[in-house]
Amino acid sequence: MRVLWTTSTLALVASTALSTAAMAQGEVNIYSSRHYDNDQVIYDEFTERTGITVNRIEGDADELIARLNAEGQNSPADIFLTVDAGRIWRADEAGLLQPIDSEVLENRIPEHLRHPDGHWFGMSQRARIIFYDKEEVENPPQTYEALADPQYEGQICIRSSSNVYNQSLMASIIAANGEEAAKDWAEGVVANMAREPQGGDTDQLRGVVSGECDIAVANTYYFLRGLDGGVDGLSGSTDMFGWVFPNQSGRGAHVNVAAMGVTANAPNKENAVQFLEFMTSDFAQSYFANQNNEYAAVPGVGLAENPASLGLFRMDDVNLSVFGENTPRAQEIFNEVGWE
């Protein structure tokens, strides 16, 4: 029997039920902060191929990390799935993940998209790029660093410093340019903001549509959701946008990942490793990435129509573990420059 629970069921009764299920053979239990119902197609296919039932609990990443900590050795969780390298790093730093030795994972997942010692593995990629109003911006910034150029004063919409996507972006800038340059950059971006940070990535794009700003920083899939239709304040206006994949003459565009790791106390470790290996198959990679307009982690897996329409680009190949390592300093810099 397949089990699917949401955050409203993160109670003792659910934990007890899942703990009982974890004792049986042929199951794998996933704590997931990725909330896409279509992922069930992947879980069903895994069960069809292996006979292993997938049980899933969904919740906020920090909530699930706290839950894993509280459960300790009695946790029924086999896999932790989250949607940012900084978040998976926090789980690993808390001792909640274990190293996995798998030739399949090492051969299929590029080195920069996985933990150096196999504690976690990126399964899909998302690029954080620059969008702009084609009518208002003749010379859009071509690099992340250029967002701090005074010529863009009063033009930029970008999320708050507490947003993990921006924390990872800042962490990558620290890795590329050093702390002093990163602080100068943050000061310049704050000076160029059209408004105080507010809302999510879609709200930054809506700010361009409304004319409140001319330039927005967002993950590609938020724009592509608007392209699909049904996004208030964005769909129907996507033709006004141009976009830049930054730093194409240098390190490449910043990417982040949805990542998975096997939990430190996994009761079904072999099944968990088998599931992670299945996630690198062409079928799983294509479905996992394309349903959310992302990019597969495994090279050679075809793009969906929407991501392909943005064009090919060079990705930054810094190992994503540095995002977590640099995040504490990134937040300190944000605070120092008044990036709310």
Q: How far apart are CA 247 and CA 314, in angstroms?
A: 8
pLDDT tens for the chain, 340 residues: list them.
334 444 333 333 344 334 444 444 599 999 999 877 788 999 999 999 999 999 999 999 999 999 999 999 999 999 999 998 999 999 999 999 999 999 999 999 999 999 999 999 999 999 999 999 999 999 999 999 999 999 999 999 999 999 999 999 999 999 999 999 999 999 999 999 999 999 999 999 999 999 999 999 999 999 999 999 999 999 999 999 999 999 999 999 999 999 999 999 999 999 999 999 999 999 999 999 998 999 999 999 999 999 999 999 999 999 999 999 999 999 999 999 999 9
Same-domain status, 32 and 48: yes
Same-domain status, 53 and 106: yes
Of 31, 174, 164, nearest in space to 87 by CA:
164
Of 277, 156, 166, nearest in space to 214 by CA:
156
- Helix, strand, or coil here: 233? coil
Same-domain status, 69 and 101: yes
Same-domain status, 74 and 133: no
Tell me which amino acid residue 133 is: D
Same-domain status, 240 and 331: yes
Domain that holds residue 190: 128-253+319-337
Same-domain status, 89 and 201: no
Domain membership flag for residue 92? yes
The pLDDT value recorded for residue 25 is 55
Q: What is the pTM of this model?
A: 0.89
Tokens of 287: 């479905």
Domain membership flag for residue 201? yes
Report residue 246: phi and psi, to 5°.
-70, 160
Asked if 222 and 202 count as a contact pair (C-beta separation under 8 A), the reply is yes
Q: How far apart are CA 333 and CA 266, in angstroms?
A: 37
Same-domain status, 48 and 85: yes
Same-domain status, 175 and 190: yes
- Helix, strand, or coil here: 269? helix
Same-domain status, 294 and 235: no
Same-domain status, 213 and 153: yes
Same-domain status, 330 and 285: no
Domain membership flag for residue 133? yes
Q: How far apart are CA 318 and CA 325, in angstroms?
A: 13
CATH number of the domain to which 299 belongs: 3.40.190.10
Q: How far apart are CA 20 and CA 258, in angstroms?
A: 28
Number of domain units in the chain: 2
Q: How far apart are CA 277 and CA 75, in angstroms?
A: 22
Same-domain status, 142 and 220: yes
Domain membership flag for residue 314? no
Tokens of 294: 């992302």
